[in-house]
Structure 1
Amino acid sequence: MPLRSKVRGPAPQDPNLEEDIIDEAIIFFKPLTFFRNFEFRSDADRVLVYLILYILECLKKLQRCPTKSQGSKELTSLALARFDIPGDPGFPRELNNLYAKPSIADAGLMREYISQLRTELGLRLLDKVYADDQSQPSKWWLCFAKRKFLDQSLSAPGTY
């Protein structure tokens, strides 16, 4: 899936895109978090669901970050930290059957792609959460940090 990205990675770059999957995830994040069911129609829907779950993880981290610079450090470390991909035991079990387990050769490429998505999403999300005031995050974004999307979470219980 092409991205309008400043971050290096395996995703094809297309600076002419008006909106990419990351923009869609941020735009539709708030209404989608109220969904208990979601119909998967394409691979883009699978990526969208992962990004929505990752936004929730980012917001949990940003709750403890009073400034944008501190939030940037937290989201960068979160994006680059080890994470589970489909087929890994730590990946949400209920979502594992929606994603095909990658082969060993494809697993590395998938990790790079997801890492690129996570890093780029973190950069764009910071601009939204700290849009009005660089010194404190928007309460209208952070109020969603306690929600779960499809009753799922990318982090293990008790992590935050």
Structure 2
Amino acid sequence: MPAYHSSFLSDTDARVIGNFALFPLRTKTRGPAYVLPLLSPDDDEITLDPESESYDILDETLLLFRANTLFRNFEIKGPADRVLIYGILFISECLGKIKPTMTGREAEKALNNLALEHFALPGDPSFPLNALFAPARDRNEAETLRQYIGQMRQELAVRLLARIYFDSATVPSKWWLSFTKRKFMGKNL
């Protein structure tokens, strides 16, 4: 059975740096991404319809995380799949930071620190997926990519916490934490 690919592969309007697409995001975090409309009070972030104008690549990453984590191989069909790969690997890293005894507040602090810490970009010697990602052409593009990935990491951390602590603010979901030891494609960030 093949892995699930991004539904944003057909989106040709996204800006691409190297071969990493910069899609619009539904976020309050500052950064270079075009901001999609926020959800109305009637919408539920966890069960958001993919046809909604507020649905973005991060919603899709969270939706496909558990299914795609089970795969060791992933055929990349375009820049959207690279964003999906990075997002899945970041979620795996986040899950590794959350312990079963952590409250929602402690987990929020840990994931905020993880999202804001210095991270390697495609082309950097310490970036683990250089074989799959192309580097930015110049310093300006690299800085834009760093800001976008930082914005993406912060928003993913917030949305992941909303799912992990959906039922209780003090006990994380065992269904999410069961994926702590799984490694998508055998890699980590």
Give the TM-score, by structure 1 length. Answer: 0.91
How many residue pairs get aligned? The number is: 152
Contact 2:72 2:185 survives alignment (8 Å): yes
Aligned residue in 2 for 1:3: 25
How much does 1:65 deviate?
A: 5.7
Counterpart-to-counterpart distance in 1, 2:91 and 2:143: 22
Amino acid at match of 2:61: A
Match of 2:140 among 92, 105, 110: 105
Distance 1:9 1:69, change over 3 A: same
Deviation above 6 Å: which 4+ runs of structure 1? none
How much does 1:37 deviate?
A: 1.2
Match of 1:72 among 95, 102, 108: 108
How much does 1:96 deviate?
A: 0.8
> Is residue 14 of structure 1 aligned with residue 36 of structure 2?
yes
Counterpart-to-counterpart distance in 2, 1:9 and 1:65: 33
Aligned residue in 2 for 1:118: 153
How much does 1:18 deviate?
A: 3.3
Contact 1:65 1:71 survives alignment (8 Å): no
Amino acid at match of 2:108: S
Q: Which of these two proteins has the greater Rg computed from alpha carbons?
A: 2
- The SS at the match of 2:181 is coil
Counterpart-to-counterpart distance in 1, 2:101 and 2:117: 18
Give the percent of matched residue pairs that are identical in Structure 1 and Structure 2: 49
Contact 1:2 1:12 survives alignment (8 Å): yes
Segments of 5+ residues of structure 2 without an aligned counterpart are 1-22, 39-52
Contact 2:74 2:185 survives alignment (8 Å): yes
> Is residue 49 of structure 1 aligned with residue 85 of structure 2?
yes
> Is residue 29 of structure 1 aligned with residue 69 of structure 2?
no
Give the TM-score, by structure 2 length. Answer: 0.77
How much does 1:97 deviate?
A: 2.1
Match of 1:96 among 115, 130, 144: 130
